Structure 1
Amino acid sequence: MHKTVDLKVMYFGTPVVLISTRNPDGSANLAPMSSAWWLNDHCALGLGNSARTAANLRRERECVLNLVPSGMVDAVDRLALTTGRPDVSQQKAAMGYEFVPDKFARAGLTEQESELVGAPRVTECPVQLECVLAQETPLGTPDSGATVFHVRVLRSHVAEELVIPGTHHVDPVGWDPLIMKFCEFFGGGSAVRPSRLAEAWEMPHGGVLVR
């Protein structure tokens, strides 16, 4: 039997991505997100229009998508309530967001020079995708406050241990992506740590236990 529910959040679970872009002053910005999906060599990214990442994408028209394994959950969570914009909105400030100019340092991660784009890669991420912006489309109505950015992958970098020997394929057994579903972190099918973002959004299971 099904129950009719007016869902407060529709966030059923997608891999976590760290998007690296360049700020107007040339410094690096790093933002965690998980509204992404891939088809062939293209990826669709759902971002809020007020985000520093959205502004950087529109201006620079390039980024790097750094795919995060479940073992890097602590680094991602350190970025959860941060923004690259010095003018923190009242809504975000009320949720606990703060301006952090050096996101790499806050996360404890390392910048790695890219080969085809200006944005840096994240050294610790085993999958790094250098991308250019192909198109952007408002999500829903023009006043929705969000945009779908369509990016094209120019070059893929994959940790050697994740590549099936003699092929150009990622080992699906060896690759254990960090998944965020309903604002909670999961890896290997299990919860991996409590999420600060879930607490900020007052999700009912924000104190999920890791077993």
Structure 2
Amino acid sequence: MHVVPGLKVLYFGTPVVLISSLNEDGTANLAPMSSAWWLGESCMLGLGNSAQTTANLLREGECVLNLPSSAMVDAVDRIALTTGKQAIPGHKKEQGYRYESDKFAAAHLTEQASDLVRPPRAAECPVQLECKVVSAHPFGGPESYATAFEVEVLRAHVEEDLVIPGTRYVDPLGWDPLIMKFCEFFGGGVNVHPSRLAEGWNMPHQLQSTAT
């Protein structure tokens, strides 16, 4: 039997992406997000308009999509409730967000120079996609609260062990992406770590995490 609960959140499960971009002063920003999908050499990203990353993408037109494995959940969670915007929006303050000027250091990740774009890559991420912004589309009504970015992947860097030998394909058995479902972290089909984001959003979950 189906019920109609009037769902507050539609977040059934998407890969976590660490987006690196450049701030106005040329420093690097790193932001976790999980509203992304790919088709061909393009990717669509959904970002809230109050995010520093949104401002950076609109201004600079470049980014790197760093894909963490499920084993990197600690790094992602460290910056889950941080923002690169000094003037923190009211709704984010209520959720517990704090300003962080160096997201790479806060996440304990290393900046790695990119080949074709200015924002750095996150060296520890097994997959790094250098991208340029193709278009931006405001959405959400009646007044738009988010932006859908279409980005083109210019170059893909993949950990050698994840590539099937002699091919240009990633081994789906070897690649275990970090997935976010309803603000909780999953990998290999199981909950892998408590989520600061879920706490900030007051999600009513009672999970038995396999956190390390």
Determine whether 1:115 maps to 2:108: no
Return the offset for 1:144: 2.5
Following TM superposition, the consecutive aligned residue runs of length 4 or more in structure 1 with deviations greater than 3 angstroms are none
Partner-residue secondary structure (3-state), 2:76 = helix
* Residues 49-77 of structure 1: CA deviation (Å, up to 9, x unaligned): 11000000011100000001000000000
Determine whether 1:96 maps to 2:104: no
TM-score, scaled relative to structure 2:
0.97
Which residue matches 2:13? 13
The equivalences for 1:31-110 within 5 A come to: 31-110=31-110
Partner-residue secondary structure (3-state), 1:73 = helix
CA distance in 1, matches of 2:95, 2:141: 25
* Residues 174-202 of structure 1: CA deviation (Å, up to 9, x unaligned): 00000000000000000001101001111
Which residue matches 1:182? 182
Which residue matches 1:140? 140
- Paired amino acid for 1:201: W
Partner-residue secondary structure (3-state), 1:7 = coil
Identity in percent: 66
Return the offset for 1:142: 6.3
Contact (CA 8 Å) 1:70, 1:176: kept in 2 or not?
yes
CA distance in 1, matches of 2:120, 2:21: 7
CA distance in 1, matches of 2:65, 2:194: 24
Partner-residue secondary structure (3-state), 1:55 = helix
Partner-residue secondary structure (3-state), 2:54 = helix
CA distance in 2, matches of 1:159, 1:113: 16
Change (3 A) 1:115 1:26: same
CA distance in 2, matches of 1:130, 1:98: 28
Which residue matches 1:26? 26
Contact (CA 8 Å) 2:50, 2:89: kept in 1 or not?
no
Contact (CA 8 Å) 1:193, 1:208: kept in 2 or not?
no
- Segment of structure 1 superposing worse, 62-71 or 142-151: 142-151
